[in-house]
A and B are shown apart, each in its own frame.
Chain A
Amino acid sequence: MLFSEMTTREAFKITKQKMTEYQLEFLNRLNAIEVDAHWFRRVFHTFTASFLFYYIIPDEGWMRVVKIVIPTIIVLGMALLEARRLRGAINYQRFFGLRSYEMKRPASYLYFGLAVLILFLLFPQQIAIPCLLCASFTDPIIGETRYYLGKKRAYIIGFMVSFFIFVATWYQANWWIVILVSSLGALGALIGEAKKLKLVDDDFMIQMLPALILLLVWQGGIVLGVCILPPKMILPI
Chain B
Amino acid sequence: MNKKKSIADQRTLTIQKLLIRLELWFAPLLLLLPLLVSLIFLWEWYAKGFIVGSSVYDGELLLGLIVLFGNLAFDVPFLRSIRMLKKKQ
Contact = CB atoms under 8 A, between A and B. Distances in A.
Interface in A180-237: 231-235, 237
A30 interface: yes
Contacts of B89: 32, 34
B37 to A, nearest CB: 4
A24 B66 contact: no
A50 B33 CA distance: 7
A172 B62 CA distance: 12
Nearest to A137: B70
Interface stretch (A37-45, A63-71, A115-123, A148-156): A37-45
Contact of B67 (A39, A52, A95): A52
Contacts of A234: 41, 59-60, 63
Interface residues of B, number: 47
A168 B66 contact: yes
A47 interface: yes
Interface in A111-137: 129, 133, 136-137
A162 interface: no
Interface in B1-48: 7-8, 10-11, 14-15, 17-18, 20-24, 26-27, 29-31, 33-34, 36-38, 40-41, 44
B86 A27 contact: no
Contact of B71 (A46, A94, A232): A46
B34 A47 contact: yes
A235 B52 CA distance: 15
A36 B85 contact: yes
Nearest to A45: B74
B56 interface: yes
A36 B71 contact: no
A44 B22 CA distance: 13
Contacts of A93: 20
A35 B84 CA distance: 10
Contacts of B62: 168-169, 171, 233
B61 to A, nearest CB: 10
Interface string B66-89: 110011011101100110111001
Contacts of B27: 35, 40, 43
A49 B70 contact: yes
A43 B70 contact: no
A163 B24 CA distance: 34
28 contacts: A20-B7, A20-B11, A24-B10, A27-B11, A31-B17, A31-B18, A35-B23, A35-B24, A35-B27, A36-B85, A40-B30, A42-B74, A43-B27, A43-B75, A45-B74, A46-B74, A47-B30, A50-B36, A50-B67, A52-B67, A53-B37, A94-B22, A96-B22, A97-B23, A137-B70, A169-B59, A234-B59, A237-B44
Interface of A: 20-21, 23-24, 27-28, 30-36, 38-40, 42-47, 49-50, 52-53, 56, 93-97, 129, 133, 136-137, 140, 165, 168-169, 171-172, 231-235, 237
